[in-house]
Amino acid sequence: MHVNSVLGLRLMAINEEDNLLQGINQYRTSLNLTALTKSDRAECLASEVADQFKKQPCTNTTGANTVPGTEPQISSFPNLLTKCHLNVTTTRDGQILPACVPNLDPTLVLSNFTKSLYSGYLNDTKFSGVGIGSEDNWIVVVLTTSTPEGNYSPGTNENNDADNGAAGLSPIGAMVLLLVGLFMLM
Ligand SMILES: *[C@@H]1O[C@H](CO)[C@@H](O)[C@H](O)[C@H]1NC(C)=O
Ligand SMILES: *[C@@H]1O[C@H](CO)[C@@H](O)[C@H](O)[C@H]1NC(C)=O
Ligand SMILES: *[C@@H]1O[C@H](CO)[C@@H](O)[C@H](O)[C@H]1NC(C)=O
Ligand SMILES: *[C@@H]1O[C@H](CO)[C@@H](O)[C@H](O)[C@H]1NC(C)=O
Ligand SMILES: *[C@@H]1O[C@H](CO)[C@@H](O)[C@H](O)[C@H]1NC(C)=O
């Protein structure tokens, strides 16, 4: 019984992610833009970010309601990238859009993306891929580009590439600085 209800919640969340993807692509179609295609690694990162946010309650200053410049920081962001086999080189032009909506109400979720400042990213021709993840009341959209700086192709961060030994030496400090830039959400 308990296992079933947990499974049920997980299935609802996946359904909610698909609904949002459809809604976003309908929005783009209505603007004559190409539909976004799913990116597994962007989805991985979206799920990890949602997992970080899930303990924060929804307020009128979280998610899509965030006042620009006051976005919450993700403490372990470099670790999240590593978990998803990504690095900052191929993700810096991407965009991470977190929203907090009680019970992920489908109508409010969609309008939080299409009728907020986030719409300025969703209607941007430079984005071509998307990954969506959710945890509790949080749902996170990660947008990717088709350029090397934002296509979320796998980054070297496991040091298993013989002729790329330098990657293992890259200073964490420099990465963190770049990541701060990535998190200037608006
Ligand atoms: C989309 O394209 C159609 C057909 O070319 C055109 O009639 C319509 O005005 C366009 N819509 C937008 C929002 O650009
Ligand atoms: C957010 O909610 C608080 C308390 O309900 C209210 O005082 C404040 O004006 C609201 N802020 C915005 C930006 O809506
Ligand atoms: C976003 O979701 C919140 C609930 O957390 C809701 O109060 C707000 O009206 C929504 N904003 C938009 C633009 O849909
Ligand atoms: C995209 O959305 C932003 C914010 O809503 C708006 O200012 C801009 O005009 C839109 N651009 C296009 C091409 O629809
Ligand atoms: C990220 O991965 C790419 C592709 O493997 C590599 O060329 C680049 O040097 C890596 N960047 C960092 C900062 O590790």
Q: What is the distance between the alpha carbons of residues 130 and 28, in angstroms, rounded to a whole number? A: 13
Q: Return the residue matching tokens 């986030």.
A: 118
Digit-coded pLDDT (tens) for 47-75: 999 999 998 899 887 778 776 666 667 77
The better pLDDT of the pair 2, 23 is held by 23
Lowest mean pLDDT among 90-104, 110-124, 167-181: 167-181
Tell how far the Cα of 2 is from the centroid of ligand 5, in angstroms. Answer: 43
The sheet with strand 138-145 has its strands ordered as 37-38, 127-135, 138-145, 95-100
Tell how far the Cα of 47 is from the centroid of ligand 2, in angstroms. Answer: 28
What DSSP letter does each residue of the chain carry, written as one string?
A: -HHHHHHHHHHHHHHHHHHHHHHHHHHHHHTTPPPPEE-HHHHHHHHHHHHHHTTSPP-TTSGGGPPTT-PPP-TTHHHHHHHTT--GGGTTT-EEEEEE-GGG-HHHHHHHHHSSTTHHHHT-TTEEEEEEEEETTEEEEEEEESSTTTS-PPP--S---GGGGGGGG--HHHHHHHHHHHT---
Lowest mean pLDDT among 38-52, 130-144, 169-183: 169-183
> Whose C-alpha lies nearest to ligand 1, atom 3?
32
Q: Is 82 in the pocket of ligand 5 (CB under 6 A)?
A: no
Q: What is the distance between the alpha carbons of residues 186 and 167, in angstroms, rounded to a whole number? A: 30
Contact 22, 110 (CB under 8 A): no
Q: Is 31 in the pocket of ligand 4 (CB under 6 A)?
A: yes
Ligand 3 mutation pick, 59, 112, 119, 139, max ligand atoms within 8 A of CB: 112
Domains in the chain with CATH codes: 2-182 (3.40.33.10)
> Whose C-alpha lies nearest to ligand 3, atom 12?
112
Query: Residue 164 has which token pair?
Result: 């790329």
Digit-coded pLDDT (tens) for 8-46: 666 667 789 999 999 999 999 999 999 999 999 999 999
For the chain, give the mean pLDDT: 81
The pLDDT of residue 172: 39
Within 10 angstroms of residue 109's Cβ, the number of other Cβ atoms is: 25
